[in-house]
Amino acid sequence: MILITGATGNNGQELVRQLAAMGQRVRALVRDPVKGANLKGPNVELVAGDFDQPASLDTALKGIEKAFLLTPVAEFFVAWQKAFIKAAQRAKVKHLVKFSGMGSGPDAGAGLLRLHHETDEFLRRSGVPFTILQPNSFHQNILSSAATIKTQNKFYLPLKNAAMATVDIRDINAVAARVFTSPGHEGKTYVITGPESLTSQQVAERLSSVLGRKVDYVDVPLAAAEDGMRQAGMPEWSIRTVGELLGYFATGAAAAVTDTVPRLLGRPAVSFEQFARDHRAVFTT
């Protein structure tokens, strides 16, 4: 039985779906069983739990051999990840797969990647057998610009001319599913990217070609992007953290392409263009 945290989120839902389709038995940790109800299925059970309540993590981990740790970008990120790793130690979990981020390191140019490093290291020293996944920024992040792409044929980001090798969430979780279901991944760290590095201008060109109408990228100052997050109701800690990360990406820091997807899955990674084709309806009125 594999415990999946973050199960109602972007990656967790996809991982639950892929593992269940492979016939693996999955327990999805959810804060709100009503919100998680659509995850249930023949191979999927739900358990209520919260990173803020360590006792609930102990309950969730009962009888679990393998677990997936993903927390959202939130102020208590490090405390939550450490609480889960300690609970996995107590439960004697045999394999913990942790969701980190590409660029995680002690001197990373963005605070979030230093926090990921702190918890990556905490896991490496925990004695719990582990694999660390370090994905690049997701193709799916462009979905948060779907409204302006639909109504104005424009998307607004503070990324300057920087190239990024964004990756499809379906690929990240196919790698995670492979790590859970095949031998030889313990102790490894996998940096996961898409197949090519594109500037936002090139992303706009790909969208234009897939949607059959001209879509433009508008480079905006970081402060304007942060104001947009504020208007959307994001907490100040998250605005600062995500803003700093975007500034870091604008330096070209997320441009590297790795071969993790083809190496582990034996097929090419999903391109941004393919992602756009698969999500065409979201960008179309």
Ligand X SMILES: NC(=O)c1ccc[n+]([C@@H]2O[C@H](COP(=O)([O-])OP(=O)(O)OC[C@H]3O[C@@H](n4cnc5c(N)ncnc54)[C@H](OP(=O)(O)O)[C@@H]3O)[C@@H](O)[C@H]2O)c1
Asked if 157 contacts 67 with a C-beta cutoff of 8 angstroms, the reply is no
Decide if residue 164 touches ligand X (CB under 6 A): no
Binding span for ligand X by CB under 6 A among 5-13, 18-26, 86-94, 143-151: 5-13
What is the residue type of 58? D
Residue whose C-beta lies closest to ligand X: 9
Nearest residue (CB) to ligand X, 236 versus 284: 236
Q: Interface with ligand X by CB under 6 A: which range of 19-27, 131-139, 142-150, 226-234?
A: 131-139
Q: Does 158 bind ligand X (CB under 6 A)?
A: no
Near ligand X by CB under 6 A, which window of 64-72, 155-163, 178-186, 210-218?
64-72
- 12 counts as binding ligand X under rule CB under 6 A: yes
Assess 144 for contact with ligand X (CB under 6 A): no
- Residue from 1, 73, 79, 143 that binds ligand X (CB under 6 A)? 73
Distance CA 245, CA 232 (A): 18
Which of residues 61, 101, 162, 258 is near ligand X by CB under 6 A? 101
Assess 75 for contact with ligand X (CB under 6 A).
Answer: no
Q: Which of 2, 4, 8, 197 lies at the binding interface for ligand X (CB under 6 A)?
A: 8
70: contact with ligand X by CB under 6 A: yes
Contact status: 190 vs ligand X (CB under 6 A): no
| Residues in contact with ligand X by the rule CB under 6 A | 6-12, 31-32, 35, 50-52, 70-73, 99, 101, 112, 135, 137-138, 141
